[in-house]
Amino acid sequence: MKSRLFLMLLLMLWFSISAFAKEEIIWLQNNRPPWLISSGEYKNKGYGDVIRTFLTKNYLQDYKHLLLPINPSRAMQKIKDENTNLCYGPAFKIKTLESLFYFSKPIYVLPQGRIIVTNETFNRLNRPDELSMEKLIQNPEFRLGTIKNSFYYPIDMTKYNEQNNVTTLSTSSPIVHLLAMMKKGRIDWVFDYNVFVKWEAFLNPNYENIFKTIKVTETQKLPLSVTYIACSKNSLGKGIIEKMNKGLTRSNILEMRKEVRKWQLDANTLQAFDKLNLEYFGF
């Protein structure tokens, strides 16, 4: 009789603990300063980290939060293998993932990526305001540096990955590695968003004497670079997104947008950022 009573008490305790146990969210964190920073002196201080922290502290206190530093290739594999309690972002919608995730309300819009070159290469190209990336990559005199499995190029990169003038780095390599290669003359240009060049400016205040950016003709055909938070397409993910969406009010979106504004490269890109977001959101 005592053993039955003891067992019943244990079961009641277990159910009580289970009822109040917090469900865990695994946040995928790609180390790509200044967006997400998973290691080093500025760990968890990227603008995406700040936005994630704002959302989790204000609207997702009922969950446990685990950060998982991961590169894009491993992230894709984990998404396919364990699509149970994952969230990521702020990031763009990728068609291949739309069937696997719920997406929050939009948070901000980024200006499209640009060709990035050194001053020397800028002069070799005759100091253009705009270039066709397709034509430039077909020119063997100029060497492109790219990161494997990037999804944001305005042209079909699969046609050019094997070219001799294309240098591909691992997905674990950040844009600063490519910029360092440009400074050493190992590559001539990259394509990326201006916020990542601004990170180089943060680390190297003399960046304006090193890099120039060029508008890319093909980006005009791309949809807007709108960012969201994404969570697994199941009941847990749906509940997380619903809670976040309640908190994504005008005032809170504007507050989070301040973090992204800090990383606009210069007056021109800041103006483009503000104009895009005003047109998209109405504020």
What pLDDT score was predicted for residue 265?
86
pLDDT in tens, 173-214: 778 889 889 989 999 999 999 898 888 888 877 666 688 899
pLDDT of residue 13: 47
Q: Are 216 and 249 found together in one domain?
A: no
Domain boundary (205, 221, 237) is at 221
Judge if 34 and 173 occupy the same domain: no
Residue 16 in this model has a pLDDT that exceeds 70 = no
**The pLDDT value given to residue 139:** 97
CB 193 within 8 A of CB 148: no
Q: Are residues 87 and 126 in the same domain?
A: no
Is 274 part of any domain?
yes
Predicted pLDDT of residue 259: 96
Q: Is residue 5 part of a domain?
A: no
Domain closes at, from 221, 244, 265: 221
Whether residue 199 sits in one domain with residue 132: yes
**Would residue 37 count as lying in a domain?**
yes
pLDDT band at 17 (very low <50, low <70, confident <90, very high): very low
Final residue of a domain: which of 200, 221, 242?
A: 221
Residues 93 and 129 occupy one common structural domain:
no
Q: What is the pLDDT of residues 90-132, one digit of tens each?
A: 999 988 888 899 999 999 999 999 999 999 999 999 999 999 9
Strands 225-232 and 211-216: unpaired
DSSP state, residue 167: E
| pLDDT value of residue 83 | 60
Please indicate, yes or no, whether residues 106 and 246 belong to a single structural domain of this protein: yes
Mean pLDDT across 7-32: 67
Q: What are phi and psi of 107, to 5 degrees?
A: -110, -45
Query: What domain range is 210 assigned to?
Result: 114-221
Same domain, 67 and 26: yes
Residues 187 and 200 occupy one common structural domain = yes
The answer to whether residues 158 and 232 belong to one domain is no
Q: Please determine, for residue 242, whether its predicted confidence score (pLDDT) is greater than 80.
A: yes
Q: 153: domain CATH number?
A: 3.40.190.10
Do 102 and 120 fall within a single domain? no
Question: Which is more confidently placed, 78 or 199?
Answer: 199
Q: Which residues contact 260 (CB under 8 A, 6 or more apart)?
A: 47, 108, 110, 195, 273
The answer to whether residue 45 is domain-embedded is yes
Whether residue 104 is contained in a domain is answered as yes
How far is Cα 229 from Cα 241, in angstroms, rounded to an integer?
A: 8
Q: Which of 5-9, 35-39, 65-69, 82-86 has the lowest mean pLDDT?
A: 5-9
Q: Give the tokens for residue 229.
A: 């938070």
Q: Are residues 217 and 122 both part of a single domain?
A: yes
Grade residue 18 by pLDDT with cuts at 50, 70 and 90. very low
What proportion of the chain, given as a percentage, has pLDDT over 90? 67
Q: Round the average pLDDT of the chain to a whole number and report it.
A: 88
Tell me, yes or no, whether 17 lies in a domain: no
Residues 140 and 215 in one domain: yes
Q: Confirm whether 141 is domain-assigned.
A: yes
Cβ contact 193:92 at 8 Å: no
- Say how many domains are in the chain: 2
Query: Can you tell me the mean pLDDT for 33-56?
Result: 95
Question: Would residue 11 count as lying in a domain?
Answer: no
